[in-house]
Amino acid sequence: EVQLVQSGTEVKKPGATVKISCKVSGYTFTDYYIHWVQQAPGKGLEWMGLVDPEDGDTLYAEKFQGRVTITADTSTDTAYMELSSLRSGDTAVYYCATDSPTPTNGVLHHYWGQGTLVTVSS
């Protein structure tokens, strides 16, 4: 069974940095990208970026460029998303997700973590 298990709720002060983990199991970690998605309270889904666990290559959304760092640790099958210079507008649930461009044997590899709430407040 494929699982993406994220770390727990975080409360941070403005200007701080948060690092969220996403531990995967049930498939070969290096086979598929890991994406991170932000969802502010009552708002929609916003893609932040991705990491290719095979080689560590990353791609970031322009909105988060310079503040977000996404990494992958193949020794623990865990991806991380670090967001710096936090502000109140970063209060949100953050999701990791894994996705393949095409199905394999008629099945699409597509799974999400449970989400991690980050609250930024002084």
Partner 1 sequence: EIVLTQSPATLSLSPGERATLSCRASQSTSNFLAWYQQKPGQAPRLLIYDVSNRATGIPARFSGSGSGTDFTLTISSLEPEDFAVYYCQQRSTFTFGPGTKVDIK
Least gap, CB of 107 to partner 1 (angstroms): 6
Closest CA to 63 of 92, 24, 34: 92
- DSSP 8-class letter at 107: B
Minimum distance from CB of 35 to partner 1 (Å)? 5
What is the DSSP code string of 30-45?
GGSEEEEEEE-TT---
Q: Which positions lie near partner 1, rule CB under 8 A? A: 35, 37, 44-47, 50, 62, 95, 99, 101, 103, 107-108, 110, 112-115
Question: H or E element: which one contains 93?
Answer: strand 92-99
Rounded least distance, CB 122 to partner 1, Å:
26
Q: Which is nearer to partner 1, 15 or 103 (CB)?
A: 103
